[in-house]
Amino acid sequence: MSVSGVTSTGSKRPDLLFGPGATDVPHQMVRAHGCIVHDADGREYLDFIMGLGAVALGYGNSAVNLAAHAAVDRGTVGPLPPEDEGELAEELRVIIPRLEQVRFLKTGAEAMAAAVRIARAATKRDQVLGCGYHGWLDWCNSGPGIPQSTQSLFGTIPFNDPEGTRQAIRAAGDRLACVVVEPVIDAAPAAEWLAVLRTETQQVGALLVIDEIKTAFRIALGGATELWRLEPDLIVLGKAIANGYPLAVVGGSADVMQHVQHTWISSTLATEFVSLAAARATVAEIKGTNALTHLAAVGARLFTGLTRLAEQDATGSVHCSGIPPMCYLRYDDEARSARVAAECARRGLLFKRTAYNFVSLAHDASSIDSALKTLGEVLASC
């Protein structure tokens, strides 16, 4: 295998999806449309992984693809900023008024790193506290290849734990540049926890960064910031913003974003035509259809079904986690989770065994019911 580790996207490795040594499971795909994926052997799969959450309208959405094709015909990339960049920025500001100014990048990991750099430039501090997964870059990770000095600048806060969060922020005090959080981790955020995040960061002079990479354009057009009326200093968008085309956003108030001018944040392909055009088409499609209402309805159907399966499981070791538009079955037994995922794949269902599975505009009641039927049969046999 010439690709180290089988694939360049770690979360798509067969051992992570289906467990080590799983056989007769799909390793590669050749085509996707709607919520259906085809592998190289001609087999068809009903998919709930949805590009790791990057697709909310369904694979190959015609309106988005039409805009992308037109952008290719315009030359894809050039030496000057494209008009689409400013136009998309204005459209995002209307959707999320706190995005007075933005910068575009290609990946969520890049955009989160940019948010942290902006926060450090704005506060002239180094320490960061985080809650959730914010990408693979050095600033928020540990392990081989990451300098200890870098690791020492990042700590974690507990999800939905107001008192633990308060203590962590106060302990960091005037060393704290920012707190970065995913608003949904296995459950919806508690109002008290959100209030503590905002109050305590303001108290110590740190910025609050909301990582909306999974939640924006899915739980609401403006994500958690809109749904729960949050007041972050910086917001990061990604994944579903361009329905599978690579684009991410970091933005906030003009006062905070002006610090971009005092550091260096740049990406050669951040302003290529195709992803910007795809994002504009995605936003228009979501606003012009019942997409979010549909995601809520089919997500609720899936979440209710998963909850029922977990309650009926004879072992008591399976639980439904997440929120309706992005949920999964959480297993106490890791080996069992692998067996279930692999057997589902053999029966034509791609259903992630860890956070999260995502519904899309292409899923309907029958596809949800089909997935639940397969999961129920597999759980009973594994």
**CATH number of the structural domain spanning residue 180:** 3.40.640.10
Domain end marker among 288, 311, 336: 288
Q: What is the residue-averaged pLDDT of the chain?
A: 97
Tell which of 260, 288, 316 closes a domain.
Answer: 288
Q: How many helices (H) and strands (E) does the chain have?
A: 14, 14
Does 207 fall in a domain?
Answer: yes
Instruction: Compute the distance between CA of residue 229 and CA of residue 200 in angstroms, rounded to an integer.
Output: 17
Of 253, 288, 323, the one marking the end of a domain is 288
pLDDT value at 1 more than 90? no
Q: Is the pLDDT of residue 123 over 90?
A: yes
pLDDT in tens, 204-242: 999 999 999 999 999 999 999 999 999 999 999 999 999
In a domain, residue 184? The reply is: yes
Number of folded domains in the chain? 2
Q: Return the closest-CA partner of residue 318 out of 375, 273, 236, 244.
A: 375
Residues 283 and 297 occupy one common structural domain: no
Does residue 105 sit in the same domain as residue 132?
A: yes
CA distance 67 to 88: 13
Residue 294 belongs to a domain with what CATH number? Answer: 3.90.1150.10
What would the DSSP string read from start to end of 100-144? SEEEEESSHHHHHHHHHHHHHHHHT--EEEEES---SSGGG--ST
User: What's the mean pLDDT in 36-65?
Assistant: 97
Q: Which domain holds residue 154?
A: 74-288
Residues 54 and 118 in one domain: no
Whether residues 41 and 85 fall in one domain? no
Residues 295 and 284 in one domain: no
Identify whether residues 118 and 266 lie together within a single domain: yes
Q: Would 5 be classed as within a structural domain?
A: no
53: left (phi over 0), alpha (psi -120 to 50) or beta: left
Record the pTM.
0.97
